[in-house]
Structure 1
Amino acid sequence: MRSENPSLYHSTQKTVSIYLGILVVMSLILAVLHYLFADLRVEGIRWFNLDRERNLPTWFSGALFTLFGCSAMVAYYWETRINARNGQVFRLPILWLGVGLVGLLMSLDEITILHENILWREVRQTTVQLSDTWIYVTQWQVLYAPAILILLGYFVLFFCNRFNSSPAARRAAFAGIGCWVVGLLLEGLRGTFRQLGDAWYSGEVVVEEVLEMAGAICLMGAIVFYTVDIALDLSEERRRKLQLGLGFFTPRALKALGVTLVALIVVGST
């Protein structure tokens, strides 16, 4: 199957790129609003502060994670549809549901601030008794590190193989994962930036939160680009590359996983 309407394929790609660009611009606007109005309170809420919850940046991030999860569901739909019409082109499309569930759970967590509240008091009471270097350690660094490792490892292996036929999608996916890894590094260094002063801390918050949003946008964009490729341009060449990526622990995927693990080890040691 080659694209029967090349103009539709290219116009769809262009439209997706425009919408992704708009989301990036909106993220940058939120960063500017943080610098201008971080301390502005309306009805007791700091609506533009990236370091606070239940405000505009939080809701925007939650919406991005929702879109990320929904895009995975759409990819699942198209893979199952193509498999039904053309045989076993894609292996285990159901794996997309795992990606979608992660996106929706991240959205729920962002909006309801679950991970900030669960066991935070117990972890803080323990860390403050250890040493000054542990004062700013949060519960996500102590309790959720294994889940973060498993999640990112799953994404790296799955996307590296699934996007074997879509170079643009693969680049966007690893750009998104890279944004999240750097964001995790910065969040782990928040205590250091806090000690350097308010200006340094505020700058760290802005960069970290923008990277988190950019990561979600890149991953969502990667999935959408991939879905457009298989829905509108499933050529024989693309089919051949898809067959090469049917495995899970392929050499390319393992190399990418190794690089990601090294980066996460660096993050964890800071």
Structure 2
Amino acid sequence: MKKRLLYPLLLIVLLLAVAHLVSNSISPAFREKFNLNQEGNVPTWFSTVLLFWIALNSFRIYKANAQVQNTVRLSQIFWGLMSAAFLFLSLDEGAQVHELFALLNLPHWFLIYAPFIILFLFLTYYYLFCENCGKELRAWLGWGFVLYILGAFFFELITYVLSPLSPTLMEVEYVLEESLEMVGAILILMGTQHHLQQIEDQTP
């Protein structure tokens, strides 16, 4: 099951990266549809679906935990916040909410999001390493968050600090940033799929 889902999704990321790199030599219309640095195109739709899928799985896990636990526990809080966070990220990806920060002359979006991200990372670390969390779930979510944050924030920060970059470096940055985001989201998705399967196997 994992390989049947994981490998096709990773292949899509590879194809999207290649399509971006060759798009200039094909046509402006093709470039617009597969440009990793633009919104409202094929890569954006793919990312939106991934993020919403994670949100949906996280909500299902939250509901399953709520049914078997009489008191609110960290696992419920974690999966509830996971669902809300990735629902927001999917809406942000699809509706380009973060692009409004520049239009409204607000500070760069990652400066505003940073405190919330740090708090969520502390909660994630505690849940994965201090709670009785399985090794496989810890690996999927741990590596997924590392790659997603590298793509979504680290490369964005580099571009913000070192701007303006040369056209070649910008192309490299686009591919690395978006590819890491998508691969990270896929690993997180695999973690939620794995955990859901465990819950279903334990349900009489």
> Taking structure 2 as the reference length, what is the TM-score of the superposition?
0.85
- 1:2-13 aligned at under 5 Å gives the runs none
What's 2:55 paired with? 69
What's 2:159 paired with? 190
The yes-or-no answer on 1:57 pairing with 2:43 is yes
Contact 1:33/1:48 (8 A) holds in 2: yes
The structure 2 residue matched to 1:107, chosen from 78, 90, 109, is 90
SS in structure 2 opposite 1:52? coil
Amino acid corresponding to residue 183 of structure 2 in structure 1: A
> How far apart, CA to CA, are the structure 2 residues paired with 1:165 and 1:146?
25
The structure 2 residue matched to 1:211, chosen from 180, 184, 203, is 180
Give the percent of matched residue pairs that are identical in Structure 1 and Structure 2: 26
Cα distance change of structure 1 residues 47 and 204 upon mapping to structure 2, 3 Å threshold: same
Contact 1:73/1:97 (8 A) holds in 2: yes
Amino acid corresponding to residue 34 of structure 2 in structure 1: F
SS in structure 2 opposite 1:105? helix
C-alpha deviation, 1:191, in angstroms: 4.6
Unaligned runs of 5+ in 1: 1-14, 124-137, 235-270
Deviations 1:112-145 (A, max 9, x none): 100121354424xxxxxxxxxxxxxx61133222
Cα distance change of structure 1 residues 194 and 200 upon mapping to structure 2, 3 Å threshold: farther
Across the aligned residues of Structure 1 and Structure 2, the Cα RMSD in angstroms comes to: 2.6
What's 1:91 paired with? 73
> How far apart, CA to CA, are the structure 2 residues paired with 1:69 and 1:116?
22
Contact 1:186/1:204 (8 A) holds in 2: yes
Deviations 1:130-167 (A, max 9, x none): xxxxxxxx6113322212222333333334455x3421
Size of the aligned set, in residue pairs, is: 200
- 1:1-270 aligned at under 5 Å gives the runs 15-38=1-24, 40-42=27-29, 46-81=32-67, 83=68, 91=73, 94-95=76-77, 96-118=79-101, 120-123=103-106, 139-161=108-130, 164-183=132-151, 184-191=153-160, 195-233=164-202
Contact 1:51/1:205 (8 A) holds in 2: yes
Deviations 1:196-221 (A, max 9, x none): 42111101110110111111111121
Contact 1:194/1:200 (8 A) holds in 2: no
Cα distance change of structure 1 residues 71 and 17 upon mapping to structure 2, 3 Å threshold: farther
In proportion to residue count, which structure has more helix? Answer: 2
Rg comparison, structure with higher value: 1
Cα distance change of structure 1 residues 41 and 155 upon mapping to structure 2, 3 Å threshold: farther
> How far apart, CA to CA, are the structure 2 residues paired with 1:93 and 1:185?
28
Cα distance change of structure 1 residues 74 and 29 upon mapping to structure 2, 3 Å threshold: same
SS in structure 2 opposite 1:111? helix
> How far apart, CA to CA, are the structure 2 residues paired with 1:190 and 1:50?
15
> How far apart, CA to CA, are the structure 1 residues paired with 2:187 and 2:15?
17
C-alpha deviation, 1:52, in angstroms: 0.5
Contact 2:37/2:174 (8 A) holds in 1: yes
